[in-house]
Amino acid sequence: MQKRNIGHRVESKFFKPNGIRVENLDIKEVGEDEIEALRLAHIKKLSMLEWSKKMWVSSATFNRILNSWIAKIADAIVNSKAIKIK
């Protein structure tokens, strides 16, 4: 796997729906690179060229990372799953 630059580490590594016991939840695992892609694109609002430079990946790879994260978070929210950051 290619080395990627992660500029921000999240403190919380686990999120779950309220009112459902952890043992009863499916868990979606996401990588820190996916969190970083989301942060750069939607919080920092950087351009595609700036994103890829900051993470040391191509624009196509950055988009794959970001789309993977969006699909996982959508599945977790819609289907009441927990999210674990690995």
Residue 11 counted as domain residue = no
Instruction: Give residue-wise pLDDT tens across range 49-82.
Output: 887 788 888 888 888 888 998 999 999 999 999 9
User: H or E segment at 54?
Assistant: helix 48-55
State the pLDDT confidence band at 84, using cuts at 50, 70 and 90. very high
Residue 64 counted as domain residue = yes
CATH number, domain at 49?
1.10.10
Residue 6 counted as domain residue = no
Look at the chain and report how many structural domains it folds into. Answer: 1
pTM of the model: 0.74
Specify the DSSP class assigned to residue 59: H
pLDDT at 33 over 90: no
Residue 80 counted as domain residue = yes
Tell me the two tokens of residue 71: 């699909």
Which residue range forms the structural domain that includes residue 78?
Answer: 27-85
Residue 13 counted as domain residue = no
